């Protein structure tokens, strides 16, 4: 006997036959004495079909009207499922988001949930009803105080389900879908992907935001922040699926639900060194040679950044702990003797990071981190971004000042601040899963001034327009000795809006200009054991090079390594990396 929230995705309710099967499954769970809140998506391809319908009328339909249209998809499935349940003799009532009281922000198309009213649901549960709730939708109060229908963003029914589970304090939230659970990668691309029995919320957050569509990243955030037990299972059988684990003791109040403070810690790691190789040849295998050589020499590399390049050369920057600096320098010098290129290095560096859940999905967070540091006059030598952590490498003398400023900005308490924390991930796999993202596009801003605050201004302007940046890379190299290049990737759908944002800020930087990158794919490997394993990145770069694929950009963070490759090579790169880490071999 438990209170369960069960969510059924689009494929699981894709036809009348499937709706009847789902109803039978719910009836069985009900007969075992569970109190059930069911969340459903729109049937099959309905959301895409509705979107296409609108686009056949207008290239840019108003977002408010899109929400009005798309929310109807879920309204059809709740009614049909409820009809099917009642037909089986199960008392069930369907409810739209607004009937429940799922209150969201007003931003149409990507609204975050602020509050879920529980009275009506609790009342119905007490009345022995199964409650069938429309996923993906809510209502905002709108500017004039009148209710407006909103949607949460594609894939958002997962988020509705987990948020409901948090609000009613359910014993578990079960996500029923068309795969057996979370797999080592997308089985549509790698058919021998294996099921994971367990995955941490941090790992899942990374994978979900890097392209693993099986869970909406925001659903994972909520599960992590509010301690919801989250399980992903198949709609078609009774296998146990995947359980998400979290070390966070959920103490957050439900007030402001998804708007709760996303940053819950900061840390400083000193005794770091930065090495920069510039003007090295741009061909497959160079990054592999470099990082293999370093790992064979026993040098553990932390962050790696490879930026875009003009002509036929590349720049690679990476960090090591200071004790490994001399060894790393020796090895790099040997390498560039044969390859050509230049080596620079800086000791006395410190890594400052903020942690949390869903950091890059909220563009204002990275922007306010960079702004805080720039206001304190601190130059960012290197930036590494991810959903659970954003790090900046700065001069050590600035470390204490930076930490103070950041703690103030993000209102962190003393116990949330760590200095030289021990490496996490002992005994965890170096790579638990891999993901492919074909939705990103790459843009570079060339010849921007080399002064503190540039990354901050770019991120802030994007944040104000609600655009999330990813993989932000500042180049080593100066453009004709004047300015630097900052490259980043962003979602393809935001590309047009990004132009408008950049046009404004580029006017302020004389001589700076914008350049679109090639069509790209991003391949990422994620694993909690990555920080304490030597040579993960080198192995990954080698496997990609052996497949004859050139790596255009590299960006790592604590538990992930991402490579940007030409779009046409994305699937192949995913397959070789999956095989490399033997993810096709065992149940994990």
Binding site for ligand ASP (CB under 6 A): 9-10, 41-42, 47, 73, 135-136, 154-158
| Residue 312 CB-density burial (10 A; 0-12 exposed, 13-18 middle, 19+ buried) | exposed
Pairing of strands 417-419, 433-437: unpaired
**Residue 179 interacting partner from Mg ion, ligand ADP, ligand ASP, none (CB closer than 5 to 8 Å by kind):** ligand ADP
**Pick 137 or 374: Cβ nearer ligand ASP:** 137
Candidates 73, 155, 361, 570; binder of Mg ion (CB under 5 A) is 155
- Rule CB under 6 A: choose which of 40, 165, 179, 301 binds ligand ADP: 179
Q: Which of 67, 174, 186, 282 contacts ligand ADP by CB under 6 A?
A: 186
Q: How far is the CB of 560 from ligand ADP (least distance, A)?
A: 14
Nearer CB in complex with ligand ASP: 10/453? 10
Q: Which stretch binds ligand ADP (CB under 6 A): 46-54, 88-96, 175-183, 270-278?
A: 175-183
Residue number closest to ligand ADP, CB atom: 9
Stretch of 153-161, 406-414, 415-423, 442-450 contacting Mg ion, by CB under 5 A: 153-161
The answer to whether the CB of 267 falls within 8 A of the CB of 419 is yes
Residue from 5, 6, 11, 78 touching ligand ADP (CB under 6 A): that is 11
Per-residue CA distances from 526 to 169, 195, 208, 428 (Å)? 30, 15, 11, 11
Q: If binding is defined by CB under 6 A, does position 231 make contact with ligand ADP?
A: no
Question: Beta-carbon neighbour count of residue 258 at 10 Å?
Answer: 21
Contact (Cβ atoms closer than 8 angstroms) between residue 48 and residue 14: no
What are the DSSP calls for 308-369, one per residue?
--STTEEEEEEEEEGGGHHHHHHHHHHHHHHH--EEEEEEEEEEEEEEESSSTTSHHHHHHH
Task: Confirm if 320 and 273 have CB atoms less than 8 A apart.
Answer: yes
Q: Is the dihedral of CA 18, 20, 21, 27 positive or negative?
A: positive
Residue (156 or 529) nearer to ligand ADP, CB: 156
Rounded Cα distance between 228 and 230, Å, is: 6
Nearer to ligand ASP, 155 or 276 (CB): 155
Measured distance CA(44)–CA(67) in Å, rounded = 18
Question: Half-sphere exposure of residue 196, counting CA atoms within 13 Å on the CB side?
Answer: 27
Q: Which is nearer to ligand ADP, 124 or 220 (CB)?
A: 220
Phi-psi region of 478 (alpha: psi -120 to 50; beta: other; left: phi over 0): beta
Question: Which listed option, Mg ion, ligand ASP, ligand ADP, none, makes contact with residue 154 (CB within 5 to 8 Å by class)?
Answer: ligand ASP
* Chosen residue from 137, 159, 160, 177 binding ligand ADP by CB under 6 A: 177
> Of 356 and 433, which CB lies nearer to ligand ADP in the complex structure?
433
Contact 157, 9 (CB under 8 A): yes
18 versus 351: smaller Cβ distance to Mg ion: 18
According to CB under 6 A, which residues from 209 to 228 bind ligand ADP?
Answer: 212-214
Tell me the closest approach of the beta carbon of residue 456 to ligand ADP, in angstroms. Answer: 34
Nearer to Mg ion, 152 or 269 (CB): 152
Which residues, at least 6 apart from 138, have a Cβ–Cβ distance to it below 8 Å? 97, 98, 102, 103, 104, 111, 113, 149, 150, 151, 152, 160
Ranges within 32-51 binding ligand ADP (CB under 6 A)? 41
Which of 90, 170, 183, 543 is close enough to bind ligand ADP by CB under 6 A?
183
Complex with ligand ADP: residue 208 or 446, whichever CB lies closer: 208
Nearest CB to ligand ASP, comparing residues 135 and 358: 135
Q: Work out whether 185 is an interface residue with ligand ADP (CB under 6 A).
A: yes
Residue 156 interface partner, choices ligand ASP, Mg ion, ligand ADP, none, CB cut-off 5-8 Å depending on type: ligand ASP
Q: How many residues bind ligand ADP (CB under 6 A)?
A: 19
Among 5, 9, 124, 461, which residue interacts with ligand ADP (rule: CB under 6 A)? 9
21 binds ligand ADP (CB under 6 A): no
Distance CA 568, CA 471 (A): 20
At how many degrees (to 10) do helices 363-375 and 454-464 cross?
A: 150
- Burial track 538-566 (b if 16+ CB lie within 10 A, e otherwise): bbbbbbbbebebbbbbbbbbbbbbbbbbe
Strand ranges of the sheet holding 513-516, from the earlier edge strand across to the other edge: 469-479, 483-491, 440-448, 513-516
Site string for ligand ADP, 118-157 (x = CB under 6 A): -------------------------------------x--
> Under the phi-then-psi rule, with left for phi > 0, alpha for psi from -120 to 50, and beta for the rest, what region is 413?
beta
Token pair 């009613």 is found at: 168
Which span sits near ligand ADP by CB under 6 A: 174-182, 312-320, 492-500, 516-524? 174-182
**Site residues (CB under 6 A) for ligand ADP, limited to 415-444:** 433
Binding residues for Mg ion, per CB under 5 A?
9, 155
Binding residues for ligand ADP, per CB under 6 A?
9-12, 41, 155, 177-179, 182-183, 185-188, 212-214, 433
């Amino acid at each position: 006997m438990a209170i369960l929230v069960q969510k059924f995705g689009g494929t699981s309710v894709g036809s009348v036959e499937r709706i009847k099967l789902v109803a039978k499954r719910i009836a069985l769970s009900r007969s075992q004495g569970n109190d059930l809140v069911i969340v459903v998506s729109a049937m099959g391809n309905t959301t895409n079909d509705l979107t296409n319908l609108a686009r056949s009328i207008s290239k840019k339909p108003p977002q408010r009207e899109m929400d009005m249209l798309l929310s109807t998809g879920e309204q059809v499935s709740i009614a049909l499922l409820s009809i099917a349940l009642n037909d089986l003799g199960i008392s069930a009532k369907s409810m739209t988001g607004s009937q429940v009281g799922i209150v969201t922000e007003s931003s149409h198309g990507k609204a975050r949930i602020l509050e879920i009213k529980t009275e009506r649901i609790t009342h119905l549960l007490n009345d022995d009803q199964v409650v069938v709730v429309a996923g993906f939708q809510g209502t905002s109060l709108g500017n004039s105080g009148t209710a407006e229908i909103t949607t949460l963003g594609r894939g958002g029914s997962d988020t509705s389900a987990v948020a409901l589970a948090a609000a009613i304090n359910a014993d578990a939230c079960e996500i029923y879908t068309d795969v057996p659970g979370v797999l080592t990668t997308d089985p549509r691309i790698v058919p021998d992907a294996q099921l994971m029995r367990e995955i941490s919320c941090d790992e899942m957050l990374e994978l979900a935001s890097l392209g693993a569509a099986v869970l909406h990243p925001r659903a994972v955030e909520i599960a992590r922040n509010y301690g919801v037990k989250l399980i992903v299972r198949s709609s078609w059988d009774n296998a146990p699926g995947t359980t998400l684990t979290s070390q966070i003791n959920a103490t957050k109040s439900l007030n402001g639900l998804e708007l709760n403070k996303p940053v819950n810690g900061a840390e400083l790691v000193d005794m770091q060194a930065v090495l920069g190789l510039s003007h090295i040849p741009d061909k497959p295998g160079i990054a592999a040679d470099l990082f293999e050589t370093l790992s064979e020499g026993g040098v553990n590399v932390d962050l790696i950044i490879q930026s875009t390049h003009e002509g036929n050369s590349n720049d690679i920057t990476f960090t090591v702990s200071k004790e490994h600096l001399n060894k790393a320098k020796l090895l790099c010098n040997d390498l560039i003797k044969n390859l050509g290129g230049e080596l620079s290095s800086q000791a006395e560096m410190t890594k400052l990071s903020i942690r949390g859940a869903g950091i890059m999905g909220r563009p204002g967070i990275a922007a306010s981190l960079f702004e805080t540091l720039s206001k304190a006059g601190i130059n960012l030598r290197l930036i590494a971004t991810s959903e659970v952590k954003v790090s900046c490498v700065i001069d050590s003398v600035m470390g204490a000042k930076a930490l103070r400023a950041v703690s103030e900005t993000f209102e962190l308490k003393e116990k949330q601040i760590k200095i030289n924390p021990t490496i996490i991930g002992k005994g965890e796999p170096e790579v638990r899963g891999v993901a492919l993202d074909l939705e990103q596009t790459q843009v570079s801003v060339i010849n921007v001034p080399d002064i503190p605050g540039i990354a901050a201004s770019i991120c802030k302007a994007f944040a104000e327009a609600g655009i999330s940046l990813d993989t932000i890379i500042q180049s080593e190299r100066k453009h004709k000795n004047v300015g630097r290049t900052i490259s980043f990737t962003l979602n393809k759908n935001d590309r047009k809006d990004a132009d408008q944002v950049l046009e404004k800020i580029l006017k302020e930087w004389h001589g700076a200009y914008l350049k679109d990158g090639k069509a790209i794919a991003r391949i990422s490997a994620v694993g909690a054991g990555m920080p304490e394993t030597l040579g993960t990145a080198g192995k990954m770069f080698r496997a990609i090079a052996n497949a004859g694929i050139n790596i255009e950009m590299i960006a790592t963070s604590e538990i992930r390594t991402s490579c940007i490759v030409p779009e046409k090579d994305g699937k192949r790169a995913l397959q070789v990396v999956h095989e490399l880490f033997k993810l096709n071999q065992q149940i994990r």
